[in-house]
Every structure is written in C-alpha cells, then in structure tokens.
Amino acid sequence: MSNERIWRIDSLWLGKESTAWTEASAFTWIPLTTMGYIKPVIEYSKNESWVWRIENIVSREIVKQMSETIAEWRVWALTFWHLLTALFWTASAPATVETSVYKHSFTVTNTNNHKSYSIITDWTAQELSLYNLLDKISITAEVWNVINFSSTFKGKIWATTTWKVVSFTSERPFKVCWMTMKFADNVAWLTAASAIPMTSLKFEVSKNVTDITESWSCTPTSFHNQSFWITWDLELVYRADTYKWYVTWWTNKAMRVTITWSTLIGATKYEELNFDFWLISFDEWDRSNKNDEIQTQTLWITWLYSLADSAMLTWYIQNTQSSSY
C-alpha cells in the first residue's frame, strides 16, 4: 500500500500540559500555512579511532535525542490565543467587554519554567511529543496580506499515540489593512497618539529555550526558557527625517500595534489583537536608494524593560472565547 500524500491532509494538534511530561487532556487543531512536523534532533558520538584503515568512522552512538517542531500559521482570532499563552504563560481571566465579547490579557511570567505543551502530528500514524516549550515566534505583517507568523517548539522525542479525530473551528485571520501603529512618550499617551502608516513590520520574540541533559538518559531531563527578548524591523514611506532623528538622538518611546476586524462580534465590539511595548529604543535607520521607486525608510528597534513601569510588554486578544485556555 502506498502512503504518498500532500501536507494538506495532515494535521497538527497543540495541548497545554497540566504536568510536564504528561500528555495534555485537551488539544486544539491548528490550521497551518506551512505544515509543521515533529522533527527528530539527534546527536551522535562518532568513533574515529585508528584501525589501520584510511576510512575515518568505525561506528557511532546516539548520545542525545529530542525533537523540534516548526510551523507557519496565520494569526487567527481564536487559535493565536494558544501561542500567546505559550509565549507569556501569565494570562488573566477573561474579562467580559460586552455580551459574547471577552478580553484575554497576557504578560511575561518572570520564571524560567514556562508552561509545557503536547504536540501531535499525523501521517500514516499520529505521533506525540511531550514537554515542548515555545522557543520563539516570528511575526510578519505586510500590506496586501494577512498577518502571519512561524513558531518553533523544542521538546521530547516522539512516540505513537492513540488516534484522535481531526476537527477544525471556523475563524478569521487578522489583516494588515486593519492595523494601526503608534508611538508616544509613554503607554498612557498612546491612545491619543496619531496612527503611523507603515508598509511592513517583522518582529521576533525569543525565549532562548534550552534543554538540561543529565546522566542515566539520552533524553533531556527538562526544558527551560532563558532570557526573553524582542527585535523588530519596520518599513515606512520616507516623508520626513523624524525617525532618523530618533536614532541619532537616542530617543526612547512606547509603542502600540492594534489590529481590529471589520465585522462586529458583539453589539459594538470587534475581534481585536493589541500589542503594547512600554519602552523601545531605535537602534538603526536606513533608506532605500533605487532611482525609479518611491523612497522608503527602515527602522531597527529593540524592546527594553521599563524599570519605571515594571513592564516590557502587555498584549491582549479580544474574541468570543469565554473561558481560559
């Protein structure tokens, strides 16, 4: 029997573990744009001992086994919530905005033991990897497109698992044409600040996940997030020198990115995704130099922890989900 198939008929499940190394009790089926799979990551010790031959490797032994799962998604109004939980760990209880509309807020948990996840992918059999930590996400927002991101999880080696039935929920992606971006001297002034038009932005949030591998096992004992940092580049049409001076004068600002859907989900509210960054530094500025094209400018930004506000970033997603994940 042949098993040839395209990725479109494979699936990926994501479930938060109540206890690390223990399979999650509930899973969410994730609609992907580039299919993720549980990739084995194996390290070997090569025996290159001299045995009176010119061939250089006599044998090899496995000394470490783990896995990595990389997938690309759209930023959906419901399932992206799972990634925010994996990224920050701290999620407030859903706040009722109005009937059937709920706000879920996220902040960074100041610990090196963020929540772990079970991941399942299927092909001819369903494979399960336990104790996965989100290592990083990269978000891309470009005009004429929806917002996309890729995620990287690091976790335990896989094993087959009990078959689970595939089921997806209809949801909407966030689009760049509904996105606003603002700078202000502090977060309190962002609401009144003017929106800044941009052509693209890309940012990466990294948790620098590492494994602890100890004696008695070739599988890591545990996984831990380490330092938490964000980098960003932003492209705008070049109309003034304002942002060049931000770099030259070592200017720090607060920043807000908000994406709002166009269809009501309540009496007056919409699905919404909001990123607040409490303190950012403008590290580098450049402009395009092609003769026959409209001039653009690019900013490279680093996010800082604000001692005055005791915060680096606060994000929320507003949708119809009434319970915590």
Say if residues 15 and 27 touch (Cβ distance below 8 Å).
yes
Does pLDDT of 135 surpass 70? Answer: yes
Q: What is the pLDDT of residue 1?
A: 54
State the Cα–Cα distance between residues 156 and 58, nearest whole angstrom. Answer: 29
Average pLDDT over residues 174-182: 94
Burial letters for 46-57: b for 16+ Cβ neighbours within 10 Å, e otherwise? eeeeeeeeeeee
State the Cα–Cα distance between residues 80 and 325, nearest whole angstrom. Answer: 11
Does pLDDT of 314 surpass 70? Answer: yes
Q: What one-character DSSP code corresponds to residue 54? A: S
Q: What is the pLDDT of residue 186?
A: 94
Query: Helix or strand or coil: residue 123?
Result: coil
Average pLDDT over residues 231-249: 94
User: What stretches of 204-307 show up as alpha helix (H) in DSSP?
Assistant: 242-248
Sign of CA dihedral 72, 73, 79, 81: positive
State the Cα–Cα distance between residues 109 and 63, nearest whole angstrom. Answer: 33
pLDDT tens digit sequence for 263-308 = 999 999 999 999 999 999 999 999 999 999 999 999 999 989 999 9
Say if residues 282 and 51 touch (Cβ distance below 8 Å).
no
Residue 144, sorted as left (phi over 0), alpha (psi -120 to 50) or beta, turns out to be: left
Least confident stretch, 120-129, 281-290, 306-315: 120-129
Enumerate the β-bridge partners of residue 121: 12, 127
Burial letters for 206-237: b for 16+ Cβ neighbours within 10 Å, e otherwise? bbebbbebeeeeeebebbbbeebbbebbbbbe
Q: What is the pLDDT of residue 57?
A: 85
Q: What is the pLDDT of residue 134?
A: 97
pLDDT tens digit sequence for 27-64 = 998 888 887 789 999 999 988 888 888 888 888 898 99
The confidence band for 324, taking pLDDT boundaries of 50, 70 and 90, is confident
